Chain A
Amino acid sequence: MAPGARPVLSIRGLRKSFGSVEVLKGIDLDVRARELVFVIGPSGSGKSTLLRCCNRLEEPTDGSILFDGIDVLSPRTDINAVRRRIGMVFQSFNLYPHMTAAGNVMLALRRVLKKGRAEADAIARAALARVGLADKAGSYPGELSGGQQQRVAIARALALEPVAVLFDEPTSALDPELVGSVLQVMRELREAGMTMVVVSHEMGFARAAADRVLFMDQGEIVEEGPPAQIFGAPRHARTRAFIEQIVRH
């Protein structure tokens, strides 16, 4: 599905410092509806921080973020209302260990969207079915494989019908044989037209699914372009060096 013209996420001059260390040095980024933007870059380049600024898990130092027309950084914005419309998937899943898979998905449906038990349960089951885990609704995270846990986490994000989903290295904590199942879910999401920003080093997936790849280094977007260009013919020396290094692994 071709990306729409309307930017869902519009970031301008985004800066973030931790103490005296500037981790994001003026990021400009537009993500259009139904677009899948891939973000790569060396460890410590600020990829996670960029994602976490989008829903203010990290408080930016400067800049502006518009999400679906809402000024995310305005003090008048109800940040919880914004957050429930931006899905977030973490490297370490972060499932609630004391709740079943269905309970994990239902929590925000019940407490944020204030849905009744029956309705929340039905939505949770549908979301779990969507990630291929209809039969695991009653399982606790500890009883699930890493790949299954990450798919529950994706279901938890999807159940709130987000406008966009941010993925922070969704497969890098997984054993290699479990990566495929998570990527499969992400591929289906993309085909369904979900707007996604994905931090990951799964190059095969990026080549097949990404509209655009950004290369970040030292808090800046060094280069961006279609996957074929970034992986095949990078313009900047830093990008080239990084691509060579991950290809070798």
Chain B
Amino acid sequence: MTRWERFLDTFFNVEVMARYLPKIAEGFVVTVELALLVVVSGLALGLLLAVVRTLRVRVLNALIVLYVDLFRALPPLVVIVLVYFGGPAAGWSPSGFVATWLSLAVVLSAFAEEIFWAGILAVPRGQWEAARSTGLGALQTLGWVVLPQAVRMTVPPLTNRTIAITKGTALGSVVAVSEILSSAQTAVSFSFNPSPLTLGAAAYLVLFIPVVMLGRWVETRFAWKR
């Protein structure tokens, strides 16, 4: 075998790839499910926390800041392992899927809260005053005037952060979630050939390139004429 042939056999063994494609496809579905759950619940929780923070209740705000700082500082893998292996000691045994989902959602919510909050603060005070002077309540002002502007400003950093954390679904492989990476690793150990990993990488590209493109589309879509 020439070097080139060995390279092809190692990473692009068609026969092995074909054999394990169904397994990787199953992993793909799991990753997509996990990613969607993380994005939706993480962003929703982050937005909710940012909205609560605008009420400016001292104790609540202190708790939110503590939560945000904590989960921005902890590596996501540590949170996942803590929930998965520590949970049972506290009388709660989440599946690897649930542990990964909740951990990543919580981490994403912490970053999202901070980004939404910065966006809310960046909306000029005059916007609040104009809306309140026409009789809109605080939550109405937030919903109709402030958040639409804040969210537009936060789309780029939020997209980046969301993609980064969603890629963390691969960490689920550590706690027995059969998502893409874990399916690929299992396939490698059965076939003694790393080609399934190539397939796994391709699966991530198939998943995330459209997400990156969607992010860019949302950015232009949400920009308004100033």
* Interface presence of A43 (CB below 8 A): no
What is the predominant secondary structure among interface residues of chain B facing chain A? helix
Which one of A15-23, A91-99, A178-186 is at the B interface? A91-99
Q: Let me know if B136 and A90 touch, CB within 8 A.
A: no
Q: Let me know if B135 and A83 touch, CB within 8 A.
A: yes
Q: Let me know if B136 and A142 touch, CB within 8 A.
A: no
Beta-carbon nearest neighbor of A55 in chain B: B133
Q: Let me know if B134 and A108 touch, CB within 8 A.
A: yes
* Interface presence of B129 (CB below 8 A): yes
Q: Which of B144, B149, B226 gathers most chain A CB within 10 Å?
A: B144
Q: Let me know if B135 and A160 touch, CB within 8 A.
A: yes
* Interface presence of A72 (CB below 8 A): no
Q: Let me know if A98 and B126 touch, CB within 8 A.
A: no
With A107-B131, A142-B224 as contacts: A97 and B136 at CB distance below 8 Å: no
Q: Residue B130 contacts which of A81, A86, A90, A98 (CB distance < 8 angstroms)?
A: A90
Question: A92 to B124, alpha carbons, bound, how many Å?
Answer: 11
Residues of B within 8 Å of A108, CB to CB, are: 131, 134-136
Question: A157 to B136, alpha carbons, bound, how many Å?
Answer: 13
Q: How many residues of B contact A (CB 8 A)?
A: 21
Question: A55 to B129, alpha carbons, bound, how many Å?
Answer: 10
Q: Mark B53-80, 1 if CB is under 8 A from A, else 0.
A: 0000000000000000000000000000
Question: A112 to B134, alpha carbons, bound, how many Å?
Answer: 8
* Interface presence of A245 (CB below 8 A): no
Q: Let me know if A160 and B134 touch, CB within 8 A.
A: yes
Residue positions of A touching B, CB distance < 8 A:
55, 57, 80-81, 83-84, 86-88, 90, 92, 94-98, 107-108, 111-112, 140-143, 153, 156-157, 160
Which 10 pairs from chain A and chain B are nearest by CB? A84-B135, A94-B130, A108-B134, A142-B226, A94-B126, A88-B133, A112-B135, A142-B225, A80-B135, A83-B135
Instruction: Name 5 A/B residue pairs within 8 A (Cβ), A-sorted.
Output: A88-B129, A96-B131, A98-B148, A142-B225, A142-B226
